[in-house]
Every structure is written in structure tokens, then in C-alpha cells.
């Protein structure tokens, strides 16, 4: 085992959950970054039957290899866009049940009265369904259950679950009726799913409230014994969780960085003494906390 800052005791246990539990317990506060690997570990997979059973027609037409690629695809027009997205939103953002792993994690954090905040890059409903405290969550990448103006004309998002259900129910041949396509109340442009793309994202008042809460938390614990914990973060958007977590850890000699991921992503040498890699199955590392 590599040399670790004397401030932290890293348990040399066979169980990575034991190691992680001990680190969270030693920390004054834990900053948790949650990426796509966490819902996948909880059974909410973007490949396999969950994808194939719900989108066979779209897969046949576009040869999508997973639900994320499909979610971000360019469709023929708004009618086809909403035929796909209404099903996607209902599946992942509205009707997706509470996950066992998320439930366990929420109970673990709350029952032990830990100080924590969550930076979440998943647009699904996993944290909401598991009753995570909204004041502790920053949904950086938007929410599938919400809609934004496709022209980004106003910093407002909209939620209409009944309309989503109606679009799922009334679509035929991968098209929703024109009159069901949601429109921006301000400029009349079609609404789209609230998400970040190259064009940007509508960041509404709730987004800014969450951003402030998150940064207030970081400020409050700045310089203290902080655990920067990333779980299931992939390689597509390292500038949201991974790189800021590295930077925060480096800037605070009393901080520790933990990567929970089965993939051996590089962790820079400048974090020597302040990094722990837990490469076990996320379902076990988090599920056995």
C-alpha cells in the first residue's frame, strides 16, 4: 500500500467497503461526485434488455448501441424526437423505481449524521426516489423529468409528467402527434429535455440554488479534513467531477481523494499520499457500507 498522509488511517481490509466506511467516518465532511457508474451498478443499465425492450424500433432504424447515444442523437424532427424522448424520460426520469443501492447509501449517510454534499452528473431520478435531501444535491447536468426551451430563451424549466405519459401513449410509428409537441410559453419554440449539450443548457433558479448550496458547503469545510469521493465517474466529462476533485484535494493538504471505479483511470502523481483507489464492484463497495 502506498504512503498516505499521516492525518488519515487507511484500513488494510479485504473489504473495500470497510476501507471506505472508515474514511468517511474519519472525515469532517465528504464531497461526493456521482457519475453514470452508480445507477448502472444499481441495475439501471443503459444497455441490454432495459434498452432493447423499450426501444426496439429506434434501435432497428438507427442502430444505437446504448441508451445514452440514443438520448443524444439527432432525430428527423420534433415529432420523432419526442417519440423517443418521452419513452426515455418516463423510463429513467419519472417511473424508474427507487434503487436499492441508492436507498442503502442514503440511509448510511443520514443514519450516521455525516456532513456531505453530492455533485451529480446523472439526469435520472435516482437521488430523488431515494429521498436524498435536495439541499445536499447539485444536479449539474439537468434533469430528464424537466424540459427547457430549445432556443434557451429564458432561464426556466418545465415539468409535465401527464404530457410525457400522453406522448408515450399516443405515439404511432415512432412519431407523436404534432399537437402534443411541447412549446416554450415565452417564444413558442419546441421544448426539449433539460440537458447539457455543446449548445449549453438552461440553468434555472433551482439549478442556481443547488449550485450555491454546493459551493457554500465547499467554503464551509475549506481547509478541513475533507474526503473528496468520486463514484462511478466515466471519462466523458472529467471537468465536472474528477478534475475539480483532484484540484480541491491538491489545494488542501488535509484532504483525501477516493476513486470508486472498476476501471483503472489514471490518478495523477501529484496526489501521492492523498489518494485511495477502490476498484471493487460499486454495488459491493457502496452496498456494504
Q: Per the annotation, does 187 bind a ligand?
A: yes
Give 208-215 contacts, CB < 8 A, sequence gap 24+: 210/134, 210/137, 210/138, 210/139, 211/138, 213/117, 213/135, 213/136, 213/138, 214/117, 214/119, 214/138
Cβ proximity to Zn ion, 101 vs 184, nearer residue: 184
Cα separation, 184 vs 189, whole angstroms: 5
DSSP class per residue in 85-137: HHHHHIIIIISPPPPHHHHHHHHHHHHTT--EEEEE---SSHHHHTT--GGGE
Min dist. Cβ of residue 158 to Zn ion (A): 10
Q: Which is nearer to Zn ion, 153 or 248 (CB)?
A: 153
Stretch that binds Zn ion, among 174-182, 183-191, 221-229, 233-241 (CB under 5 A): 183-191
Q: How far is the CB of 71 from Zn ion (least distance, A)?
A: 22
Min separation Cβ 150 and Zn ion, Å: 7
Sorted by sequence, the CB contacts under 8 Å of residue 28 that are 6+ apart come out as: 115, 221, 224, 225, 226
β-bridge partners, 193: 147
What whole-number distance in Å separates Cα of residue 159 and Cα of residue 147? 6
Interactions with Zn ion, residue window 148-167 (CB under 5 A): 149, 151, 153
Grid cell, residue 279, equals: 476498484
Report whether 284 belongs to an annotated binding site.
no
* 13 contacts Zn ion (rule: CB under 5 A): no
Does 184 belong to an annotated binding site?
Answer: yes
- The window from 76-84, 165-173, 178-186, 272-280 that contacts Zn ion (CB under 5 A) reads 178-186
Residue 187 binds to Zn ion (criterion: CB under 5 A)? yes
Q: Is 172 labelled as part of a ligand binding site?
A: no
> Binder to Zn ion among 90, 163, 184, 255 (CB under 5 A)?
184
Is 189 near Zn ion (CB under 5 A)? yes
Report, in Å, the least distance between residue 204 CB and Zn ion: 13
As measured in angstroms, the least distance from the Cβ of 201 to Zn ion is 14
Q: Which residues are annotated as a binding site for Zn(2+)?
A: 149, 153, 184, 187
Query: Which positions lie near Zn ion, rule CB under 5 A?
Result: 149, 151, 153, 184, 186-187, 189
Amino acid at each position: 500500500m502506498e504512503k498516505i498522509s499521516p492525518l488519515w488511517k487507511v484500513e488494510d481490509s479485504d473489504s473495500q467497503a470497510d476501507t471506505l466506511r472508515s474514511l468517511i467516518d474519519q472525515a469532517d465532511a465528504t464531497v461526493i461526485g456521482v457519475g453514470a457508474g452508480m445507477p448502472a451498478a444499481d441495475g439501471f443499465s443503459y444497455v441490454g434488455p432495459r434498452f432493447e425492450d423499450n426501444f426496439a424500433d429506434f434501435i432497428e432504424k438507427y442502430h444505437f448501441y446504448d441508451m445514452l447515444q440514443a438520448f443524444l442523437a439527432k432525430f428527423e424532427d420534433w415529432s420523432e424526437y419526442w417519440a423517443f424522448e418521452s419513452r426515455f424520460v418516463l423510463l429513467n426520469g419519472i417511473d424508474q423505481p427507487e434503487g436499492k443501492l441508492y436507498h442503502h447509501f442514503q440511509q448510511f449517510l443520514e443514519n450516521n449524521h455525516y456532513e456531505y454534499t453530492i455533485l451529480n452528473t446523472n439526469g435520472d431520478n435516482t437521488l430523488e426516489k431515494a429521498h436524498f435531501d435536495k439541499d445536499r444535491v447539485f444536479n449539474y447536468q439537468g434533469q430528464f423529468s424537466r424540459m427547457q426551451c430549445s432556443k434557451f430563451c429564458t432561464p426556466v424549466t418545465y415539468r409535465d409528467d401527464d404530457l410525457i405519459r400522453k406522448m408515450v401513449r399516443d405515439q404511432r410509428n415512432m412519431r407523436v402527434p404534432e399537437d402534443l409537441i411541447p412549446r416554450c410559453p415565452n417564444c413558442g419554440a419546441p421544448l426539449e429535455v433539460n440537458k447539457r449539450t455543446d449548445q449549453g443548457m438552461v440553468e434555472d433558479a433551482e439549478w442556481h440554488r443547488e449550485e450555491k448550496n454546493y459551493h457554500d458547503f465547499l467554503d464551509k469545510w475549506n481547509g478541513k479534513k475533507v474526503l473528496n469521493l468520486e463514484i462511478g465517474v466515466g471519462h466523458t466529462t472529467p471537468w465536472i467531477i474528477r478534475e475539480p476533485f483532484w484540484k480541491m484535494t491538491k489545494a488542501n493538504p488535509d484532504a483525501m481523494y477516493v476513486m470508486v471505479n472498476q476501471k483503472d483511470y489514471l490518478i495523477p502523481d501529484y496526489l501521492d499520499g492523498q489518494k485511495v483507489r477502490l476498484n471493487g464492484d460499486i454495488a459491493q463497495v457502496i452496498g456494504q457500507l
